[in-house]
Structure 1
Amino acid sequence: MVLTAFAIMLAAQGVSEPLPAKTDIPNDFSTVICPSEAAAREMLGSYYGVQPAPRNHTIDTALFFKGLAATGCSQNSAEAKSTIAIQQVIARRTLPLAGGSETHLVYRGTNASGSRVIGIVDETGNDKHPRTDYERWLSEFIPGGVLDHDPAGNRTVYLCPTIDGARSAVKAIPGKGNDTVRNAAFAKARTANACRQAAAGRYKITARHEERAIPCGFECEDVWNALAATDTRGRTVALIFNGSHF
């Protein structure tokens, strides 16, 4: 009886909940701040829901905003203007969405000024949210960090025998001159470093090195990046990837 009561007390305090993979919430990722633990629990338990298909791709926003008004929780709290460090997870709830499940959690934490906060965050989204320039670049050009390369596609990728070779080829692109001059220098450096067009396959990106751009006209630009990667057999390979928006 005593042990059961103790277990219930621990569960109520959130002691048994493990911390998420990422224990920081960047200030550019949304989090709901609540006035109390009770308000946060009520918000997550009663106002995070999913509508029936086909409107089940996101949480029920009408119910969500109703919950903000009912609980006093806020999406725009000044306490969330800086990075929040999650110190304790009080409760979790997983929502079955059309694109896959999404877990939200109630947490206790502190912001950059040291203020204690209680809030709710999308754990699934926060774990995936990029923190560094490299992670932001990956999320934009190679989501998930794995390049599924098809030579018949629109994006050119070169494979080099070594990382140093890929980096040297990219660094050889002059900072000045027209596209003919820059492309000639790039082609010469690729040949010198035995780089060739990459075969079809999946490449897991492990690092990004030099980047050089070659303007090629109005709204036209090639942006060559030297990348370290591993292939499907786990071998280290070097790629030169065109990360251009045009």
Structure 2
Amino acid sequence: MRALALTTVALVCGMAASPALAEGLPLPEAVDIPDTYATALCPDEAAGQLVLDQYLVAGQYFADTTTFLAGLKASGCAYDDGRVGPITIDSVIARKVVQAGETFILYRGTRADGTDVIGLVHEEGNNDHPRNPLEEWIAWNTMDGTITVAEGESGAYWCPTPEAAMGVVDAVAAAGDADAQLAALDVALSRNGCPEAVGDFQISDVLGETTIDLGFEAEEVWTALAATDATGKTLGLLYDASPFR
């Protein structure tokens, strides 16, 4: 799991701030930890501080995961894999900059049911973690929320409206097998006035998607998007988001 990997890497090197110096530390940009992002919870502040002080050892490239996991075992801290609902970060006990762009925090927080917790989380990773379908799609398919389609590149069409792009997706989804779906795609693109796209498109919403299964590592994932082109015009973008495009 990507979130677990980020958290494990972030929690395994550097020097910890002492609790005495941590009073008044600023909250992170994101004060919620979604249940889709990993955080290690500790029985008390001392246990979390033990991990910070004694079990954070730099590895060859990122961090010594074995030492960190041993620290979790020694301290009684553990990943809460079955958690349902977000944790709200109420205060920061300690913050550690491992290297540029990698910071983790020991925090006091509250579960969705009101239970108090103390935990460790990767700050930048949690800040950047997607919190809705649009953010998740952007994280997996773009660098900065913009799709750039080069001249002659396949797999992208612009439509007069986002609804027109969704109309193409609906037509393909209802068509049946792969051959019928490919035929329906051509017809729906023409009917909805969607020519091939070229240029930069800023994505603002994900409306829906459908998959055409063309065999092993040959799928097409046609996604209807609301987008803005380089002129600032709002339109629909039909985009093949398959990793094999």
Distance change >3 Å, CA 167–CA 20, structure 1 → 2? same
Question: Is contact 1:202-1:232 (8 Å) kept?
Answer: yes
SS of the residue corresponding to residue 214 of structure 2 reads: strand
Between the aligned partners of 1:218 and 1:172, the Cα distance in structure 2 is 24
Could you tell me how far 1:227 is from its partner in structure 2? Answer: 0.4
Matching residue of 1:26: 34
Distance change >3 Å, CA 238–CA 95, structure 1 → 2? same
Matching residue of 2:139: 139
Task: Summarize the alignment of residues 105-184 of structure 1 with structure 2, pairs less than 5 Å apart.
Answer: 105-142=105-142, 144-151=144-151, 156-173=155-172, 175-184=174-183
Gaps of 5+ in 1: 1-10
Matching residue of 2:10: none
Determine what percentage of the aligned residue pairs are the same residue.
Answer: 37
Could you tell me how far 1:217 is from its partner in structure 2? Answer: 4.6
SS of the residue corresponding to residue 191 of structure 1 reads: helix
Question: Is contact 2:200-2:230 (8 Å) kept?
Answer: yes
Distance change >3 Å, CA 17–CA 229, structure 1 → 2? farther
Q: Deviations over 1:41-69 (max 9, x none)?
A: 34335533434xxx32x333244234335
Matching residue of 1:37: 45
Between the aligned partners of 2:147 and 2:241, the Cα distance in structure 1 is 12
Could you tell me how far 1:207 is from its partner in structure 2? Answer: 0.5
Between the aligned partners of 2:22 and 2:173, the Cα distance in structure 1 is 58
Task: Summarize the alignment of residues 157-236 of structure 1 with structure 2, pairs less than 5 Å apart.
Answer: 157-173=156-172, 175-199=174-198, 201-217=199-215, 220-232=218-230, 234-236=232-234
Between the aligned partners of 1:229 and 1:151, the Cα distance in structure 2 is 18
Between the aligned partners of 1:123 and 1:212, the Cα distance in structure 2 is 35
Question: Is contact 1:213-1:222 (8 Å) kept?
Answer: yes
Gaps of 5+ in 2: 1-18
Between the aligned partners of 1:217 and 1:37, the Cα distance in structure 2 is 52
Aligned-partner residue type, residue 216 of structure 1: L
SS of the residue corresponding to residue 242 of structure 2 reads: coil
Aligned-partner residue type, residue 191 of structure 2: A
Output the TM-score relative to the length of structure 1.
0.75
Could you tell me how far 1:102 is from its partner in structure 2? Answer: 0.8
Between the aligned partners of 1:89 and 1:218, the Cα distance in structure 2 is 48
| Counterpart check, 1:64 vs 2:68 | yes
Q: Deviations over 1:60-105 (max 9, x none)?
A: 32442343355x1422358x72332211122211111xxx521101
Aligned with 1:85 (options 80, 83, 88) = 88
Distance change >3 Å, CA 170–CA 22, structure 1 → 2? same
Who wins on radius of gyration, i.e. which is larger? 1
Question: Is contact 1:106-1:118 (8 Å) kept?
Answer: yes
Moved over 6 A (4+): none
Matching residue of 2:55: 47
Question: Is contact 2:48-2:77 (8 Å) kept?
Answer: no
SS of the residue corresponding to residue 118 of structure 2 reads: strand
Could you tell me how far 1:126 is from its partner in structure 2? Answer: 1.2
Between the aligned partners of 2:222 and 2:107, the Cα distance in structure 1 is 42
Could you tell me how far 1:143 is from its partner in structure 2? Answer: 5.3
